[in-house]
């Protein structure tokens, strides 16, 4: 559960909070669990949902900061529009210093949440398509195509970062 939350939120402390909330929530709503699915599936679904909500909160919190990188900067010669260099090389250079696993993690982080959750649940947690479908309330076909795209994205990301797989 912690790993799912961690992979979905990218924040260890937040993930811990999510796990706590998930257990409390499960404790409160144990009556609603009717044994239709496996208990782990039910618990994981709660964790995924809470992680998603947490992620939204985190993003909206960041969004509240009224600051833009594109804002003009005051210099000696007057106002100047900021033209930052592309992030790519710097990310690359940072990643080069880390080991391969960290690079894979960075690539997973870069995924969209919708793709990321499928990838995490399938490749890291080994849930079946059916279970993932019931957790995310999505059809199996959707899960399959999302998983394919997520894997492709990771593959491309790794290729870009490392060069060869």
Partner 1 sequence: MDHNDIRHKLSEYIDGSVSAREKAGIEEHLKTCAKCSDALNELRKTVQHIKAVEEVDPPAWLARKIMAKVRAETKEKKSAFQRLFYPLSIKLPLEAMAVVFLAVTAFYLYQNIQPSQKFAEAPQTRVAKRDANRETGTSPRLKQVPQAPGYKALDMKPEYEKPAPPVPLGKTVPATEGMTQEKRLAAPQASSTDMMREQGGPVKDFAVKKEAKAATPALSAKAKLRAAADSTSEKNHLTLNVQDVAVAAQNIRKLLAQREAKLIKQEVAADAIIMTISINPSKARSLVDELKSIGTLKEKDMDIEQYEETVTLEITVMRPAPGVQER
- Non-local (6+) Cβ contacts of 113 within 8 A are 8, 52, 55
The H helix count followed by the E strand count for the chain is 8, 2
Length of the chain: 165
Residue 119 interacts with partner 1 (CB under 8 A)?
Answer: yes
Residue selected from 8, 15, 135, 136 as contacting partner 1 according to rule CB under 8 A: 15
Q: Are 108 and 7 in contact (CB under 8 A)?
A: yes
To partner 1, the closest distance from the beta carbon of 66 in angstroms equals 34
Burial class (CB in 10 A: 0-12, 13-18, 19+), 39: exposed
Rounded Cα distance, 129 and 120, in Å: 12
Residue selected from 48, 95, 135, 154 as contacting partner 1 according to rule CB under 8 A: 154
Residue 160 interacts with partner 1 (CB under 8 A)?
Answer: no
- Which residue stretch of 55-63, 68-76, 85-93, 146-154 sits at the interface with partner 1 (rule: CB under 8 A)? 146-154
Residue selected from 53, 56, 124, 139 as contacting partner 1 according to rule CB under 8 A: 124
- Which residue stretch of 40-48, 70-78, 84-92, 154-162 sits at the interface with partner 1 (rule: CB under 8 A)? 154-162
| End-to-end Cα separation, the chain, in angstroms | 29
Q: Quick one: how far is CA 9 from the chain centroid?
A: 5
Size of the site for partner 1 (CB under 8 A): 33
Residue 43 interacts with partner 1 (CB under 8 A)?
Answer: no
Residue selected from 37, 91, 144, 160 as contacting partner 1 according to rule CB under 8 A: 144
Rounded Cα distance, 54 and 59, in Å: 9
Interface residue list for partner 1 (CB under 8 A): 2-3, 6, 12, 15-16, 19-20, 23-24, 27-28, 100-101, 104-105, 108, 119, 122-124, 129, 144-145, 147-148, 151-152, 154-155, 158-159, 165
């Amino acid at each position: 559960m912690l790993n799912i939350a961690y992979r979905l939120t990218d924040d260890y402390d937040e993930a811990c909070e999510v796990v706590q909330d998930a257990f409390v929530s499960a404790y409160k709503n144990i009556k609603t669990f009717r044994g239709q699915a496996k208990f782990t599936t039910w618990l994981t679904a709660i964790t995924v949902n809470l992680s998603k909500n947490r992620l939204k909160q985190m993003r909206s919190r960041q969004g509240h900061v009224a600051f833009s990188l594109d804002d003009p900067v005051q210099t000696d010669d007057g106002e100047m529009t900021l033209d930052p260099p592309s992030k790519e090389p710097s990310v690359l250079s940072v990643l080069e210093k880390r080991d391969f696993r960290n690079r894979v993690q960075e690539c997973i982080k870069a995924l969209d949440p919708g793709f990321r959750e499928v990838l995490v649940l399938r490749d890291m947690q080994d849930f079946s398509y059916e279970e993932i479908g019931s957790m995310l309330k999505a059809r199996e076909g959707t899960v399959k195509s999302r998983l394919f795209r997520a894997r492709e994205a990771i593959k491309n990301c790794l290729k870009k970062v490392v060069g060869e797989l």
